């Protein structure tokens, strides 16, 4: 004889079903209303709007503005000075014969105007080396911008695929909730038919609620990843819903170590920055060395002077004309400062060479380490794919046996948990392979391939 199903238990199940239905409804509705973003679009938006990148690009513009012939000292300097003034004086003059001459309120005026031109003709190649240094600084800042772009793309691709990972975990947990809900349905029917105990039904509800709680927590993780992706893209609304064009993480399983190493030595941005710093330090040494040479400068100008006198026979005087000259000089002794600076510059050149070798060793070590992780995770990926197939088949058999009453509830839960764990491990390994792939492409200077 069928037992009467307790109203409280029936309310719990219906409430769980209703909440799950409402959650899925809003998720589907939001998805339909939002634009679809693929990886390329996310990267393009970040490159256009990311705040950190804008700052780095502005610094590059400053370096470009500084790269001028005038800043290097190649162009002449032209100045003009103009002055208008005067004096108002009173004087008393006593002579030896007893005579006295006094004057009061004598107003003298004066004015001058001049234009001058000066230019360094030769400064021991200092001007040429300074101009080259400014050009190298533009190239260096361009590399800094390139590194910021590569880092931003790597973060975008990582977050994009992390979001995909969380979506897969979300769907996996949704499947786990559906399995637990099916188990509650089976136990409910058994309880009503008298072939299952109330305790067994309550335990099924506990499992359902536990899975539903994990499902709700995963939704929070998914939302956080979405906000971080919006932040990287500098979206006006960080909470904006993002619907991705991809549903699964796409992997490149054909990366070859020797090819990556060759590209790294040629295109790694960190190595290029270290090399550029070497070039700049060598130019600094040449600039200091140029101070040992003689220097030759030229100057010319035109001036006009007016003087007006308030007393005496001469009322005013006007003088105008031009001047010119060449100056040849040489620093004979500066307290050994030049020798000290040259010694420090040589040490800096050596330091830059050491830093280059250090960066080279570091990128080689990183490449080797990450490639090992890449291969290892690919092997794990194949194992986990096999495990998942076995776990799915095992669950199908377990559910059929449970429906027939040949399998205990605890054993079914273990089989269900094994499937859930297998799904999560596979999703996690896929993401780890993707992270290794991103790092390998970034180290080898190939991260732009994602565009």
Structure tokens of 120?
Answer: 């360094």
Integer angstrom CA distances of residue 176 from 20, 26, 218, 383, 421: 12, 20, 13, 22, 11
Cβ pair 277, 359 in contact under 8 A: no
Cβ pair 154, 449 in contact under 8 A: no
Alpha-carbon distance of 235 to 182, in angstroms, equals 41
Structure tokens of 441?
Answer: 């492409």
In sequence order, the 6+-apart residues with CB closer than 8 A to the CB of 202 are: 9
**Confidence (pTM):** 0.82
Domains of the chain in start order, with CATH, are 27-67+123-294+330-450 (1.20.1600.10)
Integer angstrom CA distances of residue 269 from 3, 38, 53: 74, 26, 16
From first to last of the 451 residues of the chain, give the pLDDT tens digit.
344 444 444 444 455 544 454 455 444 444 444 678 899 999 999 999 999 999 999 999 999 999 999 999 889 999 999 999 888 887 777 777 777 877 777 788 889 999 999 988 888 888 899 999 999 999 999 999 999 999 999 999 999 999 999 999 999 889 888 888 888 888 888 788 777 678 888 888 888 898 889 889 999 999 999 999 999 999 888 888 888 998 889 999 999 999 999 999 999 999 999 999 999 999 999 999 998 889 899 999 999 898 887 777 778 888 888 999 998 988 888 889 889 999 999 999 999 999 999 999 999 999 999 999 999 999 999 999 999 999 989 888 888 887 887 787 778 888 888 888 899 999 999 999 999 999 999 999 999 998 8
> Which residues, listed in sequence order, are joined to residue 110 by a DSSP beta bridge?
85, 307
Parallel/antiparallel/unpaired status of strands 316-329 and 295-308: antiparallel
- Three-state DSSP at 451 gives coil
Structure tokens of 133?
Answer: 């240094």
Structure tokens of 159?
Answer: 């977050």
Predicted local confidence at residue 20, as pLDDT: 52
């Amino acid at each position: 004889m069928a037992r009467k199903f307790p109203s409280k238990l029936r309310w719990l199940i219906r409430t769980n079903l209703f909440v799950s239905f409402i959650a899925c409804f809003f998720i589907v509705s939001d998805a339909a209303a939002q634009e679809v973003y693929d990886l390329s679009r996310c990267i393009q938006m970040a490159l256009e709007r990311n705040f950190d990148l804008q700052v780095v690009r502005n610094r590059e513009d400053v370096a470009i503005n500084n790269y001028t012939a005038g800043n290097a000292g190649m162009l002449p300097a032209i100045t003009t000075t103009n002055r208008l003034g005067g004096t108002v004086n009173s004087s008393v003059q006593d002579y030896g014969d007893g005579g006295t001459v006094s004057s009061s309120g004598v107003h003298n005026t004066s004015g001058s105007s001049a234009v001058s031109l000066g230019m360094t003709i030769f400064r021991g190649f200092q001007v040429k080396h300074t101009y080259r240094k400014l050009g190298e600084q533009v190239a260096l800042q361009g590399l800094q911008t390139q590194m910021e772009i590569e880092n931003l793309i790597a973060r975008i691709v990582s977050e994009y695929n992390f979001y995909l990972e969380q979506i897969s975990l979300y769907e996996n947990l949704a499947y786990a909730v559906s399995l637990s809900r099916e188990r509650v349905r089976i136990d409910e029917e058994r309880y009503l038919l008298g072939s299952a105990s109330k305790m067994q039904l309550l335990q099924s509800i506990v499992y359902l609620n536990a899975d539903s709680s994990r499902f709700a927590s995963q939704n929070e993780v998914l939302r956080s990843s979405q906000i971080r992706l919006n932040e990287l893209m500098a979206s006006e609304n960080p909470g904006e819903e993002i619907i991705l064009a991809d549903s699964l993480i796409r992997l490149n399983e054909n990366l070859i170590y020797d090819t990556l190493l060759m590209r790294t030595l040629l295109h790694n941005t960190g190595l290029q920055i270290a090399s550029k710093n070497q070039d700049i330090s060598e130019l600094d040494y040449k600039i200091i060395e140029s101070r040992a040479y003689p220097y030759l400068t030229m100057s010319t100008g035109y001036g006009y002077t007016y003087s007006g006198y308030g007393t005496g026979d001469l009322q005013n005087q006007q003088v105008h004309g031009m001047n010119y000259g060449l100056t040849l000089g040489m620093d004979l002794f500066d307290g050994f400062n030049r020798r000290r600076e040259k010694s420090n510059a040589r040490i800096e050149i050596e330091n830059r060479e050491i830093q280059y070798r250090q960066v080279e060793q570091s990128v080689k070590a990183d490449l080797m380490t990450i490639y090992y992780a890449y291969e290892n995770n690919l092997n794990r990926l194949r194992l986990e794919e096999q495990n998942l197939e076995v776990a799915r088949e095992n669950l199908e058999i377990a559910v059929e046996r449970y429906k027939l009453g040949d399998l205990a509830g605890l054993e079914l839960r273990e089989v269900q948990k094994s499937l859930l764990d297998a799904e999560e491990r596979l999703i996690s390994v896929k993401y780890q392979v993707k992270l290794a792939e991103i790092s390998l492409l970034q180290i080898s200077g190939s991260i732009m391939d994602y565009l």
